[in-house]
Amino acid sequence: MSQSPPLNTATARDVSVDTPKKTRRSMLSLRTILMVGGVVIILLAVLIYWLFSGGSVSVTDSYIKARRVALSTDVSGLVTKVAVKDHQMVAKGQVLFELDPAQYAIAVARARANLAEAVQQVNGAKQSYAAQIAKIEAQKAMVANDRINFKSYAALIGNGGVTRTAYNDAKYKLKTDEASLDAMTAQAGVDLAQLSGNAHIAVAKTPQYQRARTALDLAALNARHAVVRAPFAGMVTETAKLQPGMFLPAGTAAFGLVSSTDIWVRSQPKETQLTWVRIGDKVRIHVDTYPGKVWHGVVGSISPASGSSFSILPAQNSSGNWVKVVQRIPLHIKIVSGPKNLALRNGMSAEITILTGHKRSLSQLF
């Protein structure tokens, strides 16, 4: 029976020692490749993201804004009717509340009476002027006759043709009639002045009529303003602040109205984010209240000044401990389209992404 040759123990030992060394070297090489490759891949991914992310700017400091107004009126009075309830939708021109109309109706009636009186005064001045002109013509004829008589008496008194008494009477009558003519002329001037120097002026063009007409228009305007209507369509708020029977002074806010159609986004990006932002750039809008929903808009306007420029106490940058702070520049984002069945309310938080279209290049890194 054949026997196998005995193994060389030294050779077996060398093989068993070399195998772990090769394995360790292979693992070290693989680890090095993975570490270096991983870093390279991450750097490439960051580089690619940086190159392709320059075309948009994301801003979280954004809020939904809507046209709103604190309703008031420029006349005072007792509230007689509040025609709406809190959070009620109203149409443009719908009556919201009314003040007591009695005092304004009285003011309109008084103004109409004053206007009618002004018309009568103007017509009276025209008739008076016409009558004065007729009297003046008659008086002129009388004065002319008096002058003829006086000249005749003056020529005859020297030779005794008339008495001194008759001469004096003729002289006195001439002076009296001339004084009456002057008085009539002056009165005609007064009447003509009331007609603005034009005897044929239209009544509506006289100052008296225009003053009375303006007073009537003002009284009618106040009467209309006693009924407050919605200046635009929207939703009323805090209507409980106004109750019938309350006295509402002129200019006092009654309650609020928030538009349901005039809605936009106000965003305040950092000044460093506006490098490539231009008016008209497209914008994607995400509202926190509606996750996953997207509205589309455009950059409507960019503020000419930072938000801090309008603060009551602006920062004093001349002090020695001044620290540079990145400023915020307000943007107006016009909403173009979006989900129709989701209401956007004033003050909602939003996030926007402005698509500037800017492309970065490797040269900007160096």
Percent of the chain's residues with pLDDT above 70: 87
Q: Given phi > 0 = left and psi -120 to 50 = alpha, else beta, which region is 25?
A: alpha
More confident residue, 87 or 177: 87
**55-66+261-310+320-361 and 72-99+227-254 agree in CATH topology:** no
Whole-angstrom distance, CA of residue 194 vs CA of residue 99: 40
Position 10 pLDDT exceeds 80:
no
How high is the pLDDT of residue 153? 79
pLDDT in tens, 296-305: 999 999 999 8
Give 219's pLDDT tier (boundaries 50, 70, 90): very high
Q: How many CB atoms lie within 10 A of CB 277?
A: 19
Percent of the chain's residues with pLDDT above 90: 49
Report how far apart the first and last C-alpha atoms of the chain are (Å, whole number): 82
Whole-angstrom distance, CA of residue 70 vs CA of residue 255: 6
pLDDT in tens, 192-217: 888 888 888 888 889 899 999 999 99
Domain 72-99+227-254 architecture? Beta Barrel (2.40)
The rounded mean pLDDT for the chain is 85
Give 156's pLDDT tier (boundaries 50, 70, 90): confident
How high is the pLDDT of residue 296? 96
More confident residue, 323 or 361: 323
Position 316 pLDDT exceeds 90:
no
How high is the pLDDT of residue 170? 82
Q: Output the six-digit token pair for 220.
A: 């009618």
Whole-angstrom distance, CA of residue 240 vs CA of residue 208: 46
CATH classification code of 55-66+261-310+320-361? 2.40.30.170
Q: Which residue has the tokens 């960051």?
A: 46
Q: What angle do CA 187, 190, 193 make, to 5 degrees?
A: 150
Q: What angle do CA 227, 231, 234 make, to 5 degrees?
A: 115
The backbone torsions φ and ψ at residue 355, rounded to the nearest 5 degrees and listed phi first, read -90, 95
pLDDT in tens, 236-272: 999 999 999 999 999 999 999 999 889 999 999 999 9
Whole-angstrom distance, CA of residue 71 vs CA of residue 236: 9
Report the predicted TM-score, pTM, of the whole model to 2 decimal places. Answer: 0.67
More confident residue, 50 or 225: 225
Three-state SS for the chain is CCCCCCCCHHHHHHHHHHHHHHHHHHHHHHHHHHHHHHHHHHHHHHHHHHHHCCCEEEEEEEEEEEEEEECCCCCCEEEEEECCCCCCEECCCCEEEEECCHHHHHHHHHHHHHHHHHHHHHHHHHHHHHHHHHHHHHHHHHHHHHHHHHHHHHHHHHHCCCCHHHHHHHHHHHHHHHHHHHHHHHHHHHHHHHCCCCCCCCHHHCHHHHHHHHHHHHHHHHHHHCEEECCCCEEEECHHHCCCCCEECCCCCCCEEEEEEEEEEEECCEHHHCCCCCCCCEEEEEECCCCCCCEEEEEEEECCCCHHHHCCCCCCCCCCCCCCCCCECCEEEEEEECCCCCCCCCCCEEEEEEECCCCCCHHHHC
Domain segments of the chain: what residues? 55-66+261-310+320-361, 72-99+227-254, 102-225
Q: Which of 85-99, 184-198, 245-259 has the lowest mean pLDDT?
A: 184-198
Q: Which of 34-48, 136-150, 341-355 has the lowest mean pLDDT?
A: 34-48
Whole-angstrom distance, CA of residue 265 vs CA of residue 219: 42
Q: What's the rounded mean pLDDT across residues 140-155?
A: 85
How high is the pLDDT of residue 2? 47
How high is the pLDDT of residue 3? 52
pLDDT in tens, 40-51: 788 777 766 655
User: Which residues lie below 8 Å from residue 228, measured CB to CB, with a gap of 6+?
Assistant: 71, 73, 95, 96, 97, 98, 99, 254
